[in-house]
């Protein structure tokens, strides 16, 4: 088939999948008012593949079949693949009105991680299976979500030590042709509206955890998979002023696997507990860079919103506000510079022949982004003023009796009449003071791995031996 249209993608989601939201089973995820926001954000992936303006970024020619396929399914076996993908993700975010379509990147990061580990460990069966699966995804232009995070119960205990055996997803049965798995994965982005879910372990394992060392891919409508989604926001909205480019975003789900049967052809790790940590690490190496790439357009437009807010309030030239601008620019441009450095210095991951953005720089970029975001939001809130939370709503603006009052009192500096200023404040409310804004702050900390995981990777990748040997040379110390 190759290169589906957005309409074909939407149609493919009407398959009887078991998705719940606000306690009700969703009949059609493409029509549900909350999930629709995610579906339409995701649909940009397919729109880009057909739009002459973005096609060259989004589409490549498959070396084996000669067919046009999504760039996400490219085998990254040359260094420039890294920056090409970075440009695709940045452009996707721009095209999808500031949000990432998010339905092929995390899944293909898992495919790359699995493929790299299969090569490093020399497991030819898994190498063949994952490349067959990659080709299957490319041929059918599938959308994918990635389920890594288990529900984890008591965080101080490993999988096999938990009070309930299902706190980590595990193999509960096996035959010659298939395995049966049970457990749940939490916070899974977009899984309610992807074709497939890829599952890998979230952590290191011991021999006692062997049943938990499992990785596989499975269609979302497979019997036994139930998703419980938390609503985010809807397109229909009476509070915020409408904008020419709608607000975009995604919905996460708790994905429950209740005795789900997985054909062995789609299994990429089965009880090799020694490889679990390496697999989680390899996925993170690929995925952390995706995470950094899509933040950049978001930081750019949020910085711009703060600048417009200062202009609307007539304070853009005052020293206290310019100090805030300096903070925001430093934060945004440092994130960009680190991301660029990571793309320009790709590395062959573990000698696998698969190229990944420089892991030290991309972890630094993610850590820098995650550690500074709340301060960045604080600066925007400070610049914009209290109207960010007390503003009259779009419904008030539409009321003929109230609008004259709003026109009289809500104007700002030259160029910002009441409508312009309220429109701006309405968007600022969405990005720094709404439920969504709170979600975004938490997302910044936890999504794509919490601070601790970035710090762990930073310690693993930093040239600490180089630092120590330089210090030894200077002092003349003989110790190793």
Residues of this chain that bind ligand FAD (CB under 6 A): 106, 146-149, 152, 155-156, 185, 187-189, 252, 442-443, 446-447, 449-450, 452
Cβ closest to ligand FAD, residue 42 vs residue 424? 42
Q: Which 3 state secondary structure label does DSSP give 151? A: coil
CB 451 to ligand FAD: min, Å: 6
CB 369 to ligand FAD: min, Å: 14
CB 146 to ligand FAD: min, Å: 5
CB 161 to ligand FAD: min, Å: 12
φ, ψ for residue 438, nearest 5 deg? -65, -45
Identify whether the C-beta of residue 361 lies closer than 8 Å to the C-beta of residue 345: yes
Cβ closest to ligand FAD, residue 144 vs residue 383? 144
Cβ closest to ligand FAD, residue 28 vs residue 149? 149
Cβ closest to ligand FAD, residue 36 vs residue 440? 440
Cβ closest to ligand FAD, residue 146 vs residue 385? 146
CB 112 to ligand FAD: min, Å: 16
State the burial class of residue 86 (Cβ atoms within 10 Å of its Cβ: 0-12, 13-18, 19+): buried
CB 30 to ligand FAD: min, Å: 20
Of the candidates 355, 376, 429, the residue with the CA atom closest to the CA atom of residue 82: 355
Instruction: Report which residue's Cβ sits closest to ligand FAD.
Output: 148
Contacts of 251 (CB under 8 A, 6+ apart): 21, 34, 35, 37, 38, 189, 190, 192, 193, 229, 230, 231, 232
Question: CA 162 to CA 2: how far, in whole Å?
Answer: 44
Identify whether the C-beta of residue 29 lies closer than 8 Å to the C-beta of residue 21: no
Please tell me what DSSP assigns to residue 191. G
Please give the structure tokens belonging to residue 167.
């706190």
Q: What element of type H or E holds 311? A: helix 276-313
Question: CA 70 to CA 48: how far, in whole Å?
Answer: 10
Cβ closest to ligand FAD, residue 121 vs residue 189? 189
CB 235 to ligand FAD: min, Å: 20
Contacts of 104 (CB under 8 A, 6+ apart): 45, 70, 72, 73, 143, 144
Phi-psi region of 66 (alpha: psi -120 to 50; beta: other; left: phi over 0): left
Cβ closest to ligand FAD, residue 276 vs residue 443? 443
CB 97 to ligand FAD: min, Å: 18
CB 399 to ligand FAD: min, Å: 36
Of the candidates 150, 167, 147, 160, the residue with the CA atom closest to the CA atom of residue 206: 160
Cβ closest to ligand FAD, residue 90 vs residue 185? 185
Of the candidates 207, 156, 185, the residue with the CA atom closest to the CA atom of residue 253: 185
Cβ closest to ligand FAD, residue 79 vs residue 153? 153
């Amino acid at each position: 088939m190759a290169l589906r249209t957005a309409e074909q993608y939407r149609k493919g989601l009407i398959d009887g999948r078991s998705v719940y939201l606000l306690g009700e089973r969703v009949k059609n995820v493409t029509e549900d008012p909350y999930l629709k926001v995610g579906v339409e954000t995701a649909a940009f992936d397919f729109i880009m593949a057909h739009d002459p303006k973005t096609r060259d970024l989004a589409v490549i020619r498959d070396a084996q079949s000669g067919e046009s396929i999504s760039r996400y399914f490219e085998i990254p076996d040359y260094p420039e693949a890294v920056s090409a993908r970075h440009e695709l993700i940045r452009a996707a975010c721009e095209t999808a009105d500031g949000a990432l379509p998010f339905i092929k990147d995390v899944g293909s990061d898992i495919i790359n991680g699995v493929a790299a580990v299969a090569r490093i460990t020399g497991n030819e069966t898994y190498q063949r299976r994952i490349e067959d699966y990659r080709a299957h995804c490319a041929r059918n232009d599938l959308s994918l979500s990635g389920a890594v995070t288990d529900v984890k119960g008591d965080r101080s205990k490993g999988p096999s030590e938990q009070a309930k055996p299902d706190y980590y997803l595990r193999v509960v049965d096996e035959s010659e042709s298939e395995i049966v798995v049970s457990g749940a994965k939490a916070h899974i982005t977009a899984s309610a509206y992807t074709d497939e879910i890829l599952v890998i372990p979230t952590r290191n394992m011991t021999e006692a955890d062997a049943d938990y060392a499992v990785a596989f891919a499975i269609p979302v409508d497979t019997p036994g998979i139930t998703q419980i989604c938390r609503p985010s926001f809807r397109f229909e909205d009476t509070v915020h002023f409408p904008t020419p480019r709608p607000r975009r975003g995604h919905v996460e789900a708790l994905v429950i696997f209740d005795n789900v049967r997985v054909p062995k052809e789609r299994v990429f790790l089965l009880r090799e507990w020694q490889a679990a940590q390496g697999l989680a690490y390899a996925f993170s190496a690929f995925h952390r860079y995706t995470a950094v790439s899509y933040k950049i357009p978001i930081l750019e437009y949020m910085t711009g919103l703060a600048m417009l807010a200062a202009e609307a309030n007539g304070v853009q030239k005052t020293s206290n506000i310019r100090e805030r601008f300096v903070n925001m620019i430093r934060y945004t441009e440092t994130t960009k510079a680190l991301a660029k450095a990571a793309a320009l210095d790709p590395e062959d991951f573990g000698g696998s022949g698969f190229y990944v953005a420089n892991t030290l720089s991309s972890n630094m970029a993610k850590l820098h982004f995650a550690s500074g975001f709340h301060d960045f939001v604080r600066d925007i809130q400070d610049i914009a003023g209290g109207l960010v939370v007390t503003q009259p709503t779009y419904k008030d603006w539409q009321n003929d009796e109230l609008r004259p009052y709003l026109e009289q009192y809500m104007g700002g500096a030259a160029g910002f009449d009441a409508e312009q200023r309220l429109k701006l404040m309405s968007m600022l409310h969405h990005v720094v003071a709404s439920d969504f804004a709170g979600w975004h702050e938490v997302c910044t900390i936890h999504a794509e791995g919490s601070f601790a995981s970035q710090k762990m990777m930073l310690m693993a990748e930093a040239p600490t031996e180089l630092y120590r040997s330089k210090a030894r040379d200077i002092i003349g110390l003989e110790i190793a």
